[in-house]
Chains A and B, each alone.
Chain A
Amino acid sequence: MTILYVDSAALNAWRQDAVPGILRRLGAAVAAASSGRTRAATVPVADLRQIEQTLNGDSEAYKRLIERHQQHVANILWKFTRDPRTHEELVQDVFVEAFLSLRTYKGKAPLSHWLATIATRVGYAFWKDTYDRRRMEPFSLADWDELLDPDGEPNPDPSDAARFMYELLAQLNPRDRLVLTLRYLEECDIDETARRTGWSKAMVKVQSLRARHRLKKLFEKAGRELEL
């Protein structure tokens, strides 16, 4: 994936210039979270403290943060790739990007929300980079008859169902794929989808409508009718 170089001099300069302000802000957030006075109470104090320690140059603190949140990020990114190696690389990319922009985290929302937004951005960028209509994997609904039969297996294997959804949505362009993945597989509402994608709410609504329409057409071509 991405090869990142961190210039130690630049990092130290950044620490000296920017970190005191961030630490003041985070310190206030920690105090508020501890006393339960503000919205920041929803942010785990452990996260805030470890971010503070990370910004002070403690790499062990960042390691603990990664260990606490990596599975949450991995769950999100498993919807963006089914290749275990690529999946792991994407998870790494998220935490590298998170580290490099840790100074922008304000401590107002839980860190997991912030990481979810980065994970969505990383996953979407991966789709855009790898999207090539000409080299698309052949996909036929007929291959999934057993799974699609309403009178068939009432409890299909979740892995089969997830793989089917992944391959089905891969037939769409990255934008359509992203909005449907977030709305249906991640169960994000309009607000959450807008936050994760950086789109406006109106854009999310329009994009969802278009994506559903394209998905229905895909089924119609195969002589099926889609209920969604």
Chain B
Amino acid sequence: MKKSVDLSRLIAHARVETPPRVDVADDVLSLLAVRRPAVSYHPLMWIASLSSAAAACAAVISFVIMRASQSNALSNMYEVISWAAQ
């Protein structure tokens, strides 16, 4: 025959146990006061934006100049070479 165990009796006693006292208020506030080293991305974002804008302007200007000079590019080259040869 199996021995019977009345767990509810033990549970009732376990419930009245007094847990240890804690005092965590100061520790919690210290934890919350810990600041992650502030890495501000704002200056980097500004630099990146300005660089992109400058690059875009340079690209547009280069394209316009290239289109304008494309038609007589060869004659310009002959002129430069002949001038240099003289």
Contacts and interface: CB of A to CB of B under 8 A. Distances in A.
B3 interface: yes
Contact of A95 (B15, B18, B28): B28
A92 B34 contact: no
A7 B38 contact: yes
B50 to A, nearest CB: 23
B43 interface: no
A6 B36 contact: yes
The range of chain B's interface size is: 35 or more
A147 interface: yes
Contacts of A157: 13
B11 A156 contact: no
Interface of A: 4-9, 59, 62-63, 66-67, 70-71, 74-75, 78, 84, 87-88, 91-92, 95-96, 99, 141, 147-148, 150, 155-159, 161-162, 164-165, 184-185, 187, 219-220, 223-228
9 contacts: A5-B36, A62-B32, A70-B22, A70-B24, A95-B24, A141-B5, A184-B8, A227-B4, A227-B7
